[in-house]
Amino acid sequence: MTLSPKHLFWPLLCGILAVATLVIALRPPKVKVVEKTIEVPVEKEVVKVVEKIVEVEKEPEPRLGISSDLDLRETSKGFSFSSRLEVENGGLASVERRDVRAYRSEHILRVRIPRAAHTMEELEKASPQLGSLLPGLEPLLASASVSGFFEKLYANKTGRLREKAGQLGSLLTSHNFFDCQTMLDITAENGRKIFLLQGDMDVVSDGSDGDRLPTMPSEIVNSTHYQPTTSYGWAKVGRTPNPLIAGYERRLEVARSELQDSSVSAERKDWVRSRIDGVLLPGIEEMKRRSFLIAEYDPFIVIPMNIILDRRDPFGPKVGDYAVVVHKGVLYPAIVGDAGPTFKVGEASLRMARQIDPKSSPYWRPVSDLTVTYLCFPGTAEKPHRPPDYEFWRQRCAELLEEIGGVAAGTELFRWENTLPPPPEA
């Protein structure tokens, strides 16, 4: 009896791909955190970048059962799924079942690389009021050029897709792949450089400062995921200890007790030592000496790490540079406060996110569409870095906007209020 391709189609395809997908999904990757400290030569400002490296072991041969109702047409990654069955005549079943080529599936992921928006008409498809809010911007676009970082961003994205192509659960979602509408290098008549980026807005929730916030919730103090530092930091000015030191010291005590435990494996002890020497001790010392932005209270944006560290492109924003975030007719003054992944853009602090959408959290982005415009002013960071002064930031951002034609009549920059709790009475 001959079975038609129609009857064989989904059981065959789902069976093959689902096995591989489930094996990969059920094997948690090892994650190690590598902290890199890069000293910037200008007045010895230190930019700290935390990079998460995922090590994936070689996958074993699939040996798991699969769910009978698994449908690969429905994925959470946002890509459409099309397939077909090809049937050909073969040899004896006893021979074919030993030939891996006789029963196989091939997966091809096809993506389109977007082009960058360049004209005001294209920019206003994302930010409808941009031209009216900043009337001097459109004339400058005639001589603007697409940033080389735009091409690099999508090269990083496709490189990551290529690396993870066989691991459907690890792929970038279509949302995160298409997260950047444009990056433009713009020069004002007076020579002022502007880096314009359009995208969505995700949330960062890191940072700590004992001088301004001496206590933090226990779930943050004891969290192994919360990062106590941001790339923007300054020499500590007060004597109040950073509240996150206590959590680090408790973890240090636990780690040292593990080293004394004879039942702990040598491999585990090696990892614990690397954790002590590479994370806990350096982290404690840094928190004793320096203060950082606090994402819940300070308005700042995040720029990809490769842009932050680039020393050749004069349009690349750096830590501490002033920035103006434009969304739904409001101009928000900010600074570049942290470095992010090289394969995604569009991140801001929890403070800014909640101003745009009060429901925002580390798990709820305030803006999903590509409707946020980030205007960065390279080379404007104050040296040395200092504690946040929101009114001074607002004044400097207003001055920088004047250099590119100013804002529309009746328009003012948003004024940030200090929402930090008052310091305890002595």
pLDDT in tens, 391-425: 999 999 999 999 999 999 999 999 999 999 987 76
Q: Which distant-in-sequence residues (6+ apart) come within 8 Å of 46 by Cβ?
A: 37, 38, 39, 40, 233, 290
Instruction: Tell me the pLDDT band of 139, cut-offs 50, 70 and 90.
Output: very high
Question: What is the pLDDT at residue 92?
Answer: 82
Helices within 165-304 (DSSP H only)? 174-177, 218-221, 245-260, 266-275, 281-289
Question: What is the pLDDT at residue 163?
Answer: 79
Across 34-48, 359-373, 380-394, least confident range: 34-48
Do the beta carbons of residue 15 and residue 66 sit within 8 Å?
Answer: yes
Q: Answer yes or no: pTM beyond 0.85.
A: no
The size of the chain, in residues, is 426
Question: What is the pLDDT at residue 327?
Answer: 97
Do the beta carbons of residue 279 and residue 270 sit within 8 Å?
Answer: no
Question: What is the pLDDT at residue 32?
Answer: 43
Question: What is the pLDDT at residue 267?
Answer: 95
Instruction: Tell me the pLDDT band of 311, cut-offs 50, 70 and 90.
Output: very high
Mean pLDDT to the nearest integer, 123-129: 92
pLDDT at residue 90 is higher than 70? yes
Instruction: Tell me the pLDDT band of 269, cut-offs 50, 70 and 90.
Output: very high
Question: What is the pLDDT at residue 6?
Answer: 47
Across 19-33, 225-239, 252-266, 368-382, least confident range: 19-33
pLDDT at residue 121 is higher than 70? yes
What are the residue ranges spanned by the domains of the chain? 5-102, 120-205+295-402, 218-291
Averaged pLDDT of the chain: 84
Segment 91-102, tens digit of pLDDT = 888 888 888 888
